Structure 1
């Protein structure tokens, strides 16, 4: 069963187009992660937050990615990473046009 992973952390930039240009290689590498299906990148310059909403094939893949990503962020000096894995309610999500398979 697919799992949604929500991650956020304190982030001081770059944001917007500058972030898009700086993070291309990271974005491409995420596509290679086991069980990865898609990611929506999130950012809030106002609140100094970065993060993402990810969809994985299963909980084991989501948790493995969260562990790896947390370690990567901590090596970059980010001390607090918030990550949570969620189940998805498919029938209600489909009513609201969620980009997930039946």
Structure 2
């Protein structure tokens, strides 16, 4: 079994732990998008979206690809796409428990 440093795992999961970052990931899950396309789709502001993109990119969750004057953002690889799908599948089973959890910190 692959051993991952606990602090690294926590940093990675923190990269997924913000509403805007989840919205961005859902937005680019099926296809690459520019910042402008992401801003338009999730109804955010460019500065805020850019900061969250930097966090996601810094955590290795997404990648950026330069094409002309535009940068297209997409998920790092199929494993990231699979992870998002797996999270959705798990949530289908525990959604009510999570919604009722009074121990949520944040």
Same fold (TM over 0.5): no
Task: Flag the structure with larger Rg.
Answer: 2
The structure with the greater share of residues assigned to helix is: 2
- TM-score where L is the length of structure 2: 0.27
- TM-score where L is the length of structure 1: 0.27
